[in-house]
Structure 1
Amino acid sequence: MSATSTTANRLFVMEKFGTDPGSLSAEVYIPENFPKNGPLVVVLHGSTQSAESYDTGSGWSALAEEFGVALLFPGQKKANNAIGSFNWFKRSDSHRGGGEPLSIRQMITQVVDDHAIDPSQVFITGMSSGGAMTSVMLATYPEVFAGGAIIAGLPYRSANTLMQAMFRMNGYGGPSDRRLNALVRGASHFTGPWPTISVWHGDSDTTVDKSNASGIVRQWQKIHKVEGPPTRVEMVDGFPREVWCDPDGREVIEYYIIEEMGHGTPISAEGDEGLGEEGKYMLEVGISSTRHIADFWGLTRLGAEHLAEPITAA
């Protein structure tokens, strides 16, 4: 088992998890009600954030405790990036088998082994640079994930340098849709079934232009064979949700553009089902992306079923 130590909050630092070529940190949260063969969510913070601050703002550990979900929080170090961003745009950190993606893959392997996690129920989400690195992980290690959620992020390999990254964040240029699709297909030798994709973005985001969100959707539409308009559009907590379903009727892509929201993670901290805490880049807009992403992945249903199972004597 890997060595761990406790942080000031409920997360535990995982000291060892492989060769760690990306030189990242790792923290985990395993709730007391976590069932054997339960699910894992990997959560990637944004620039200037930490695992702890993102967890506090998003409410992921509160939801994990509610439904028996394990959490892994990869963390960036200032030595790698001055503002604590994941280096999603660097060639050395956007390919399978090296850099930050391999470090995150090694963390996942360690947590799955240590805590008897169902390897078919591993999910990943992130915001801003963490959202862009979520795109990287879904493309480079698609066999690892059942689903991913990208918040205020960018498509995989939309930039290969810092200068390109700044242009893409501002909504300028970028690969064609055909090239975006080819980049995901060329990132591994995987043939499917592909992870489901949840995309969230504020329509007033001046840090990462909302055109990147539609680019992510288009990057994955052809892979999921759901090109064209959405299967349906519905209102969820007052916001439009676009959904694409595969030929079997399974929801494979969902897309939220949050009206009048800037750069950050949408939260709803009030009420009986409130999660998280308002703060920098954690935006109180009346909809909890954390809860709805968990719903999309089936974690709230799965968790409720696990927690309802009778406890038998050993």
Structure 2
Amino acid sequence: MTQTRAASLIAVLTALLAVLLTPVPASAASLQEVTGFGTNPGALKMYRYVPDGLPAGRPVVVALHGCTQNASGYGTGSGWLQLADRWGFSVVLPQQQAANNSSACFNWFQTGDIQRGQGEAASVAQMVDRQLADTGGDASRVYVTGLSAGGGMTAVMMAAYPEKFAAGGVVAGLPHGCAQAAGSPYVCMYVGATQTPKQWGDRVRAARPGYTGPWPVLTVFQGSADYTVKPVNMTDLMRQWTDVHGADQTADVSDTVAGYPHQVFRDPAGRPVVETYSLTGMGHGQPVDPGSGSEQCGTAGAYLLDVNLCAASRMSRAWGLS
């Protein structure tokens, strides 16, 4: 064998050995549909994301998409799947079906879908139970959040199933019972409903008669230039949930986060129970901040607005997921 041929053969063998010895990365987790999760009276679809190797005892986040969106697009665009990998929790992603709502909106305004044990609210609750059973998740660390109609349904879940959720995050959404209080979902969205804090709180208490707590704590994100869901709805969410927690409507903290007005409301024991972010100049959508920084997450797109603040990251930190 000539010296040149020998050298060539050694080079080939070396390259082949390098390929064989290079570790093959584990396959990345993917979104999976789950069927048979319960009686599913709201006829929703259930998707979930479980990071590879996730141990038992980890938190669960339920993320509800907005109108015209779907589970996959919202899970990725909002940043929740990215954060699940980063910080180690699983995500449940309910998906609306066209047969229920032609615009793919969750029916936060339909009486039959927002009462405990009925319709879409009951379907989402069954998804939580299935996820906890399958993953061995921590039942004391389950959180619910959503955008727009998904935000309205978030408030529904916090009211109708308060024992299931430690906290909720409403993004450009509505108070529980707003459509009924205003007489129309559109009046609620565009004008708001005239209710005192106690009247707002009574709507939550009526959703779970006899419940003595603890109630979920609330974080709200709202664009100041949102003409689809007017900013008064964030004020009414604050009034509703401070009243539920026995707190007043005077902020205990008023500062800025990423340049945006931010307030915290505490209960008489000093515990933060409502937190609000007013995104100056932002329209209707989910705040995201694409990038790999520790506070960054999400992907910009329709109703996923790059405003240099990622709502999912802020919620994760408030809830201790990070």
Q: Find the residue that maps to 1:299 and give its secondary structure.
A: coil
CA-based RMSD = 1.7
Alignment of 1:209 onto 2:221: no
The DSSP-based 3-state class of the residue aligned with 2:180 is coil
- Asked if the contact 1:38/1:70 (under 8 Å) is kept, the reply is yes
How far 1:240 moved relative to its partner? 1.9
Counterpart of 2:263, as a letter, is E
How many residue pairs match? The answer is 293
- Find the aligned partners of 1:244 and 1:176 in 2 and give their Cα distance: 17
Q: CA deviation at 1:247?
A: 3.3
The question of 1:285 aligning with 2:307 is answered yes
Rg bigger for which structure? 2
8 Å Cα contact 2:62/2:92 also seen in 1: yes
In the alignment, the residues of structure 1 paired with residue 321 and residue 111 of structure 2 have an alpha-carbon distance, to the nearest angstrom, of 33
1:173 counterpart = 2:190: no
TM-score normalised by the chain length of structure 1? 0.90
Is residue 75 of structure 1 aligned with residue 95 of structure 2? yes
Contact 2:238–2:249 (8 Å) recurs in 1: no
Residue 187 of structure 1 corresponds to which residue in structure 2?
A: 207
Residues 1-314 of structure 1 aligned to structure 2 (within 5 Å): 10-160=30-180, 164-188=184-208, 189-273=210-294, 274-300=296-322
Aligned partners of 1:25 and 1:77 also within 8 Å:
yes
TM-score normalised by the chain length of structure 2: 0.88
The SS at the match of 1:28 is strand
Q: Where in structure 1 are there 5+ consecutive unaligned residues? A: 1-8, 301-314
Cα distance in 2 for residues equivalent to 1:251 and 1:172: 25
Equivalence for 2:23: none
How many angstroms apart in 2 are the aligned matches of 1:211 and 1:257? Answer: 11
Higher relative contact order (CA 8 A, sep 6+): 1
% identical aligned pairs: 39
Deviations 1:114-172 (A, max 9, x none): 11011101000000000000010000000100000000000001113997001111024
Judged with a 3 Å threshold, the aligned counterparts in structure 2 of structure 1 residues 214 and 172 are, in CA distance, closer, same or farther, namely closer
- The CA deviation string for residues 258-296 of structure 1, in whole angstroms up to 9 with x for no partner, is 000000000111352321110000000000101000001
For the residue of structure 1 that corresponds to 2:202, the secondary structure is helix
Change beyond 3 A, Cα 1:172–1:183: closer
